[in-house]
Amino acid sequence: MVCTLDGWLGEEDVERGIRLLLRLKNVMTFRTRKFRAYVGDHDLFGRVLVFEEDGRRTVQIAERFDSYSEILVHTAMCAHPRPRRVLIIGGGDGSTLREVLKHDCVEHVTLCEIDPDVVDIGRRVLRLSDFDDSRVCVVHADGADYVKNAFESYDVCIVDVTDPYPGTPASSLATDEFFSNVRRLLGRQGVLSFQSGSPILQPEITRRIFSLARKYFTHAYLCVACVPFYPCGLWAFTLASDSLDPRVPRRRFSANFYSDEIHASLFALPPIVKRLISCGLRGFP
């Protein structure tokens, strides 16, 4: 670990010609098994986590204004009438776990994170959630392998992973096999929530995840929300279930960005996103 006074860090993608930089103070650099990671403090967003993988830097999470974690978690949790058992794939930084544990009905959470060093950063440095909560079981495994071999049933599965570009660790989750296995673990009343990238910068990721969900689940819908610390702001989430319409909130819940009152409105898609998921990448935008 190396500490520096400050530095400009954030989203950098040379291929797409994108930079979104934040001036971070007290930057710490870590080596994990999969990434180089940076954690620093920002005056507006609080503590920020940045990953570097194959020369591409991406903002993972920020402590404040975290609409990403709220929409990813609460939309699925409130679509289910009583989610007691929850599976989180990824989410080693702790932000998704933090939001799940806000629901009093939760009795058990399995957090499956392939990289134990990310959990260590989440536990010791970010401190966004209580990994030692008695309801939490942390498993270090590839998410695709876990859902293939697991026999437990879950009410909600939340997939909070890095963007599944081909050849990256998360690419094994944007597959037919993964979706088929998740459907088996969830059963008919289970709800899946899968972060689906930027429909502007990553239309191929948004389209693929949604298409797989529609293939394996009776009800599959895309919702979008503004995430202030992600490039282009607009972010997509795929919600799916075999028997429950995830557009309908079944419990009352309110956070900073999510509420049961705005639940249904999250699924009102801009026409450009409708075209993306209806006709594919051809003709987009």
Structure tokens at 263: 């639940």
Contacts of 205 (CB under 8 A, 6+ apart): 163, 164, 165, 174, 196, 197, 198
If one counts every other C-beta atom within 10 angstroms of the C-beta of residue 23, the result is: 15
Consecutive H or E run containing 71: helix 67-79
Q: Exactly one of 6, 160, 242, 260 is catalytic; which is it?
A: 160
Is 130 tagged catalytic? no
Crossing angle for the helix pair 203-216 and 176-186, to the nearest 10 degrees = 50
Spatial distance between the Cα atoms of 51 and 33, rounded to a whole number of angstroms: 12
Contacts of 153 (CB under 8 A, 6+ apart): 85, 185, 186, 187, 190
Spatial distance between the Cα atoms of 267 and 225, rounded to a whole number of angstroms: 9
Instruction: Sort residue 197 into left (φ over 0), alpha (ψ -120 to 50) or beta.
Output: left
Amino acid at residue number 29 = T
Hey, which residues are catalytic here?
160
